[in-house]
Amino acid sequence: MLKPFFNRIVLIAGSTVILGLIAGCSAFRGPLYPDIIYNNRQPLISVTYEYGEIELILPIKYDAAVPDNILFKVFTQGDTLHPVISILQEAPKEFLAYLPQGVLDIQNSTNLIKILP
């Protein structure tokens, strides 16, 4: 009496498994939209620029005692309020900095380096 019942359960379960394997996830489909949907926002654009670098090496000679730290500020085009780069480091024997190409003014002598102990 129980044997036909179990046979039916096995048959139904086997059919379900086979049907699931055949259909798979392709039975779940998302909605299809015929036209492009715009959300009235500007698209996100990523732009990468590649610049060369200027290696700036300046030897430093100390007349008196060597300070612990030195602040270097590099200014361009005579603008002494907004430094292009500001570096605080231990007192080196030479100042080394890498600047992006095109930052320094090559037409006029308006580039300044301010060194503060």
pTM of the model: 0.50
For residue 54, give both structure tokens.
């200027």
Q: Which of 65, 54, 71 is nearest to 113 (CA)?
A: 71
Supply angle C-alpha 68, 71, 112, rounded to 5. Answer: 145
How confident is the model at residue 91, as a pLDDT? 86
How confident is the model at residue 44, as a pLDDT? 65
How confident is the model at residue 28, as a pLDDT? 66
Query: Which positions ≥6 away from 101 have C-beta within 8 Å?
Result: 51, 52, 53, 54
Segments of the chain with pLDDT less than 50: none
How confident is the model at residue 42, as a pLDDT? 67
